[in-house]
């Protein structure tokens, strides 16, 4: 190999080395962006699941209330204590 070929070869090696460095930096940036997006999505998904769970609980509670007679409703439905509820139920049944 003569001098010109060696110079050209070293320039190619430098060029491809810089190219690889640039590609590595781009890849690192892309990975960081994806990780940030995953974290943001994860938070959104968690809150959506939580909201859905709360909604399901409320729906189930409402379904139970509609099946029961007014005197048999859960305490939070009437806001009365158990003894007062029982007295009201006895009055209705008489």
**pLDDT above 70 (res 19):** yes
- Express each pLDDT in 76-88 by its tens digit: 555 556 677 777 7
- What does the DSSP 8-state code read for residue 79? T
> What pTM value is reported for the model?
0.41
Instruction: Sort residue 2 into left (φ over 0), alpha (ψ -120 to 50) or beta.
Output: beta
- Express each pLDDT in 3-13 by its tens digit: 999 999 999 99
Q: State the total domains in the chain.
A: 1
Instruction: Note whether residue 80 is domain-resident.
Output: no
Alpha-carbon distance values, 1 to 13, 16, 35 (Å): 16, 21, 48
Instruction: Note whether residue 54 is domain-resident.
Output: yes
Range of the domain at 38: 3-68
Structure tokens at 31: 């990975």
Instruction: Note whether residue 75 is domain-resident.
Output: no
First-to-last C-alpha distance (Å) of the chain: 115
- Express each pLDDT in 38-52 by its tens digit: 777 766 666 777 788
3-class SS of residue 31 = helix
């Amino acid at each position: 190999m003569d001098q010109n070929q060696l110079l050209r070869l070293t320039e190619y090696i430098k060029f491809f080395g810089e190219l690889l460095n640039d590609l590595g930096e781009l890849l690192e940036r892309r990975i960081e962006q994806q990780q940030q997006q995953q974290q943001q999505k994860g938070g959104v998904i968690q809150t959506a699941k939580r909201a859905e769970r709360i909604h399901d609980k409320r729906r189930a509670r409402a379904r139970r209330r509609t099946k029961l007679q007014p005197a048999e409703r859960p305490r939070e439905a009437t806001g009365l204590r158990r003894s007062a509820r029982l007295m009201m139920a006895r009055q209705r049944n008489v």
